[in-house]
Amino acid sequence: MNAAYYDAAYLIKLQCSEPGTAEVSAHAATVDILCCSLHGRAEFASAAFRKVREGAATPEQYRALLAQLHQDSAAGHLKWLPVTDAIIERVESVFATAPPSTNLRAADAVHLACAAEYGFTEVHSNDRLLLAAAPRFGLTGVNVIPG
- Residue 48: which pLDDT band, with cuts at 50, 70 and 90? very high
Instruction: Tell the burial category of 91 from Cβ atoms under 10 Å away from its Cβ (0-12, 13-18, 19+).
Output: buried
Asked whether residue 147 is domain-assigned, the answer is no
Is 54 within a domain? yes
Check residue 19 and give its pLDDT.
93
Q: Does any domain span residue 146? A: no
Task: Determine the 3-state secondary structure of 76 from DSSP.
Answer: coil
Residue 50 placed within a domain: yes
β-bridge pairing 122-124 and 140-142: parallel
Q: What is the pLDDT of residues 130-140, one digit of tens each?
A: 999 999 999 99
pLDDT-based confidence at 52, cuts 50/70/90?
very high
* Interval 45-62 mean pLDDT: 95
Pairwise CA distance, residues 98 & 63, whole Å? 40
Across the chain, mean pLDDT equals 96
CB atoms within 10 A of CB 38: 14
Tell me what pLDDT residue 147 has: 78
pLDDT of residue 119: 98
Torsion of CA 16, 19, 20, 25, to 10 degrees: 30
Note the pTM of the prediction, 2 decimals. Answer: 0.95
* Number of domains the chain contains: 1
State residue 124's pLDDT score. Answer: 98
Structural domain containing residue 115: 3-141
Q: What is the pLDDT of residues 84-120, one digit of tens each?
A: 999 999 999 999 999 999 999 999 999 999 999 999 9
CATH of the domain at 29: 3.40.50.1010
pLDDT of 1 > 90? The answer is no
